[in-house]
Structure 1
Amino acid sequence: MDFPTEKDTQRPLQAEATHEIFDSCESDTNTLSWDGQHDPENPFNWPTSQKWALTCLAAFTTFLTMMNGAIITVGHVAIADLFNVSETTFPNLYWPVTTWACGGACSALFILPLAEDFGTRPVFLSTYLILVCFLIPQAVAQNFATLVVTRFFAGGCIAILANTAAGVIGNLWETEWARSIPVSLYILGYMSGSSMGPVMGAAIFQSLGWRWISYMQIIWFGALFSVFYFFFYESRGSAILARRVRAQAKNGEAASIEDEVHTPDLSFNKLLASATRPVILVFTEPVLFVSTIWSAFTVGTLFIFTQSVEQVFIGLYGWSIAQTGFVQCSIVIGECIGWSLNFISRHLYFASAARNKETPGKPIPEARLYMAILGGVFGISGGMFTYAWTSYPNIPWIAPAISLGMVGAGSVLVVTGVSDYVVDAYSQYAGSAMGAVATGENLFSAFLPLATMSMYGYLGFQWASTLLAFVSLVLSLVPTLMFVWGKEVRARSPFMNEMMKSVAKKNGDLV
């Protein structure tokens, strides 16, 4: 995109106001500096093998923790019988998942800024231990309220762990080209972990009962803590530099002015500003608003399937609850296929630089959306249509199962494309922009599936899925307008203009 020229230097009033909000949140530890370009402690200079090891560990962490979201859903009948919870008129047994997602939305806004001050490792390890503590009361719960409340805090911990793992990737890989595959690997872990929850839960529930779903998590999270303790290195550059300066001070060495370390400011005003930035962005930026709705609906759809698969496959084929959990493996397989298609998306994006007339030599931002739109139209929407009209008892179960795989493939393409596009479009505000997207995904995951039972009950298996397919189709086609008016939309965006001016100023250009 073009940098602003002299005639563009008139700053919009909205940008002026929001610029002050963002400036108030800048870290005051940016005076730290590395010992030259090749400082071996700089994460960008770490050996490639070490980078990939930590990247894979972060992706695995995301996969493992995200399973916690829907893993408990397969035990809802046993939980209802034990605690006398009725689902006659409302899916009350989904509340543990709703509160889990709400906890994730809250912690993403208020707690994640701590990682910017103290680094990823201490925040990750302390949150990891807190998560294990909240798994214990879930395993021994004596009433339904215990599950609902403790799942809220567990969801908050999961959001911190998953997003901290995402931050690791940004800390390690410096260029867009280098980050593209690690980011898609992280999103695969995020999406497939959510879908794998019912599959893993079904295996545990069928053999050991619903309480062992939590017991098994305590066992594997506890066993893996030593792995994370020894191999989840600090990767945030400012935290590494601050640690270095503290070590120098301890050894009696004087720190230079450039290496001066400030005490982290965790005031209420700073946390409030961090929490309100995503809200300001999503309601003032049409591009971010559409992207958030699109990605949130996609993630929410996967949680809808957690509920609808049970209704459809039990109603049509008389399957057991455990069997309905196992069939969701098809979603995970589809997500892996969708991840492999991201290599095509990567090629299309970087190849677009050759035809970019707006900023010659740089990829077109909207090229991030090519495969996302195809995934939304043919994967999610097409899969939902197929799922709808293969939901008949005389049609073999493999047909709707393949449809679930199509939705899984499309979902990874959409979420990856939206994430990459938002990060590219909002640059220095990417953290807040992605915070808005993540909050939207959590809220849709929390409340959208509450309508599943009624929707599939009143509309029927065919028309309920068809309705979702039409909504997905519209959401997938709206971003195509950016191919025509992308340049104009970005030019009218106060936040994007602020970002362009900042980049231009950093590069010494005239603004």
Structure 2
Amino acid sequence: MVFSRGDVSGHDDQAIGTYTLSSQRDMNINSGTDHQDPNLNIQIVSWDGPRDPGNPYNWSLREKWLLTALAVFTTFITMMNGTIITVAHEAINERFNISDANFPHSYWPVTSWAVGGGCFSLLVLPLMEDFGVRWVFLGTYLIFLCFLVPQAVAQNFATLIVTRFFAGGCVSILANTSATVIGNVWDSERSRNVPVSLYIVAYLAGSSIGPVIGAAIFQALSWRWIGYVQLIWYGAFFPMYFFLFKECRGIAILGQRAKALRREGKNAYTQHEIDTQDQSMLSIVGHSASRPLVLFFTESVVFVSTLWSAFTVGTLYLFTQSVEQVFADLYGWTPSQAGYVQSAIVVGECIGWVLTLFSAKLYFDSASRNTEMPGTPIPEARLYLAIVGGVFGISGGMFTYAWTSYPYLPWIAPAIGLAMVGAGSVIVVTGISDYVVDAYSKYAGSAIGIIATGENTLAAFLPLATMSMYSTLGLRWASTLLAFIALALSFAPILVLIWGKDIRARSPFMKEAMVEKRRKSFDSV
């Protein structure tokens, strides 16, 4: 999963952020009208009091939910682009003289798409900090449309791979921009809970439903129409975004006010503009890209979370390859029929979303047991249901998928295993993301950034081993191997539950986050 820049405390202005972290709370609560620095003779533009209607946190529920719905919908439909062509690999191979006999070369368009997503999420997203959400979103959307055209009319395989790389990069930005909306308009953990869970299920379900939609188009038309149809529907949605997707980044809104005042001849700037005037875009991008790597190599929690979440997302992409191989061998199904059965994963993901709402209740109820910070939920409580989802959902689902793979059993049996994996994936990814957000607070943006990069990396390369693994080990033992790996990763966070308090005490990043939480808790009293 890819996330955008932001920060829960309002201070980590260089972090690659998260779906909930684009918080301007510290800035948003500044009261009073524009004020002037007597030394520099500069008018500092801030909100017109805590109830300023221009502040996204003060928008009506209707405005907030409209923008959130647009964000979630965008995430869902754009993520389809990653896997929608997988069902047509045989036709694409035949057109471009590609062979999968010794290696799944037909998966390279998906690999390049995921690699593009990983690269762009770390290098391009800092633009949102200076230019706001709306124009980065609309501009990226138009570029995405441009790269859909060569996907449909490509005359060689290299064109398909290269254009898919840039399309994947655009989708990562669109998904991050959409995720940022949630942090920009919902101002508390409780209010963000449902929007965030909707975002995550849309992100995962969009990837999972790609082969289902692709199968329907491919079966009725040809593989090129998969590109044509996408171009039609994505193009049709652009006017809706242009008129309804309004700017929600507080820094950008204040920047627009400052520009209007400067046109009137006033020397007006936002505090953000003053703080960043001496920073080059190159330095901002460099700092943004380096901090996630530092966290990955120095923070055990980030390291384990990255492996767990990356394996979960990578497994969903692996299924786009293994399902066809398994159901073709067992039941003689065509690629299109195998594509349809992947809707079981989407059904499971929807069930998993419902369960994440119960996970949130466990988290907020833990505040009554918190002796470290009374009245504040325990960060590790986010992992309770995630561990269960990993053991019984992902690992249990893979065991079910493995040992129901017999031709004399009905197809619904392994499909149930797929649904269990889908449910577990939503629970696990939601739990990991929420835990990292709570435990790292102001540095959570960078932590989530490296987790997103790990997810894209395994989504790109893990499925390349699918054909060889299932051919060598067999249908049942290949899935069993994945189940054991998932089981081992699911047990690792139990150590975090046991020694979570000590781990946070030893981590300079988490310790600073806890100090910030204590300060905010004290200020709210």
* Fold conserved between structures, TM > 0.5: yes
1:142 aligns with 2:155: yes
Q: Give the Å deviation of 1:32.
A: 4.4
The structure 2 residue matched to 1:462, chosen from 476, 494, 499, is 476
Q: Which amino acid aligns with 1:138?
A: Q
1:309 corresponding residue in structure 2? 323
**Contact 2:82 2:110 (C-alpha < 8 Å) held by counterparts:** yes
The 1-side partners of 2:329 and 2:271 are apart by: 68
In 2 relative to 1, CA 247–380 (structure 1 residues): closer, same or farther, beyond 3 Å? Answer: same
Q: Which residue of 2 aligns with 1:100?
A: 113
Structure 1 CA distance for aligned equivalents of residues 437 and 317 of structure 2: 25
CA displacement 1:437-493 (0-9 Å, x = unmatched): 100000010001110000000000000000000000110111011121000001000
Task: Determine if the alignment matches structure 1 residue 55 to structure 2 residue 68.
Answer: yes
* SS in structure 2 of the partner of residue 315 of structure 1: helix
The answer to whether the aligner puts 1:319 opposite 2:323 as a matched pair is no
Alignment of 1:164-313 (within 5 A): 164-253=177-266, 255=268, 265-313=279-327
Alpha carbons 1:32, 1:260 under 8 Å: kept: no
In structure 2, give the amino acid aligned to 1:460: G
The equivalent of 1:5 in structure 2 is none
Please report how far the alpha carbon of residue 357 of structure 1 lies from its aligned counterpart in structure 2 after TM superposition: 1.2
What is the alpha-carbon distance in structure 1 between the residues aligned to residue 369 and residue 516 of structure 2?
25
Structure 2 residue 142 is matched with structure 1 residue 124: no
Following superposition, the deviation at residue 36 of structure 1 comes to 0.6
Give the letter for the 2:484 counterpart. F
Distance in 2 between residues matched to 1:170 and 1:93, nearest whole Å: 38
Contact 1:25 1:270 in 2 (8 A): no
CA contact (8 A) 1:185 1:339 kept: yes
Match of 1:91 in 2: 104
Kindly state the Cα deviation for residue 255 of structure 1 after the two structures are TM-superposed: 3.0
Letter in 2 for 1:99: S
Question: Alignment partner of 1:68: what SS?
Answer: helix
Give the aligned length: 489
Structure 1 residue 404 displacement after superposition? 0.5
The alpha-carbon deviation at position 269 of structure 1 amounts to 2.2
Distance 1:384 1:506, change over 3 A: closer
Task: Compare 259-268 and 204-213 and name the one that shifted more.
Answer: 259-268
SS in 1 for 2:268: coil
Residue 499 of structure 1 deviates from its aligned partner by: 2.6
8 Å contact from structure 2 (residues 389, 427) kept in 1: yes
Q: What are the residue-to-residue correspondences of 1:1-80 with 2, within 5 Å?
A: 32-80=45-93
Q: Which amino acid aligns with 1:389?
A: W
Aligned pair in 2 of structure 1 residues 206, 24: CA closer, same or farther (>3 Å)?
Answer: closer
User: 1: distance between equivalents of 2:340 and 2:271?
Assistant: 57
Tell me how far apart the structure 2 counterparts of residues 169 and 479 of structure 1 sit (CA, whole Å). Answer: 27
- 1:115 is matched with 128
Per-residue deviation, residues 392-416 of structure 1 (Å, max 9, x unmatched): 0000000001110000000000000
Equivalent-residue separation in structure 1 for 2:96 and 2:186 (angstroms)? 49
Helix, strand or coil for the counterpart of 2:82?
coil
Tell me how far apart the structure 1 counterparts of residues 84 and 270 of structure 2 sit (CA, whole Å).
Answer: 51
Extract unaligned runs of 5+ from structure 1. 1-20
Shift of 1:313: 0.5
TM-score between the two structures when normalised by the length of structure 2? 0.90
Matched with 2:462 is 448
Is 1:338 the counterpart of 2:361? The answer is no
* TM value normalised by structure 1: 0.92
Distance 1:42 1:435, change over 3 A: same
Comparing 117-126 with 264-273, greater Cα deviation is found at 264-273
Shift of 1:345: 0.4
The answer (yes or no) to whether the contact 1:335–1:411 under 8 Å persists in 2 is yes
- Measured after TM superposition, the shift of residue 270 of structure 1 is 2.0
For residues 178 and 505 of structure 1, the distance between their equivalents in structure 2, rounded to whole angstroms, comes to 21
Which residue of 388, 399, 402 maps to 2:416?
Answer: 402
Aligned with 1:438 (options 438, 441, 452): 452
Give the Å deviation of 1:253. Answer: 4.7
Deviation at 1:342, TM superposition (A): 1.1
Match 2:439 to one of 412, 420, 425: 425
Whether the 8 Å contact between 1:32 and 1:238 is mirrored in structure 2 is: no
Q: 2:381 aligns with which of 367, 388, 403?
A: 367
* 336, 350, 354: which one aligns with 2:364: 350
Report the Cα offset of residue 267 of structure 1.
3.0
For the residues of structure 1 that align with 2:367 and 2:422, how far apart are their CA atoms? Answer: 30
8 A contact 1:33–1:259 mirrored in 2 = no
Amino acid at match of 1:331: I
- Cα offsets for 1:426-447 (capped at 9, x unmatched): 1111211111110000001000
Say which SS state the counterpart of residue 288 (structure 2) adopts.
helix
Is 1:386 the counterpart of 2:427? The answer is: no
| CA–CA distance in structure 2, aligned partners of residues 80 and 260 of structure 1 | 52
| SS state at 1:67 partner | helix
Amino acid corresponding to residue 383 of structure 1 in structure 2: G
| Alignment-derived partner of residue 8 in structure 2 | none
TM-aligned CA deviation for residue 256 of structure 1: 7.2
Which amino acid letter does the alignment assign opposite residue 404 of structure 1?
Answer: L
Q: Which residue identity is paired with 1:409?
A: A
The whole-number CA distance in structure 2 between the counterparts of 1:76 and 1:433 is: 35
Look up the SS of the partner of 1:235 in the other structure. coil
Distance 1:158 1:484, change over 3 A: same
| Identity percentage of aligned residues | 64
In 2, Cα distance between equivalents of 1:49 and 1:329: 32
Unaligned runs of 5+ in 2: 1-10, 17-21, 28-43
**Separation in structure 1 between the aligned mates of residue 99 and residue 172 of structure 2, nearest angstrom:** 29
Superposed CA deviations along residues 155-203 of structure 1, whole A, max 9, x for unmatched, are 0000000011111100011100111110000001100000010000001
Return the alpha-carbon distance in structure 2 between the equivalents of residues 464 and 357 of structure 1. Answer: 45
Deviation track 1:111-137 (CA, whole Å, cap 9, x = no partner) reads 011111111111110000000100101
- Aligned partner of 1:284: which letter? T
Please give the root-mean-square deviation of Cα atoms over the aligned residues, in Å.
Answer: 2.1
Give the aligned residue type for 1:248: L
In structure 2, do the counterparts of structure 1 residues 113 and 227 end up closer, same or farther at CA, with 3 Å as the change threshold?
A: same
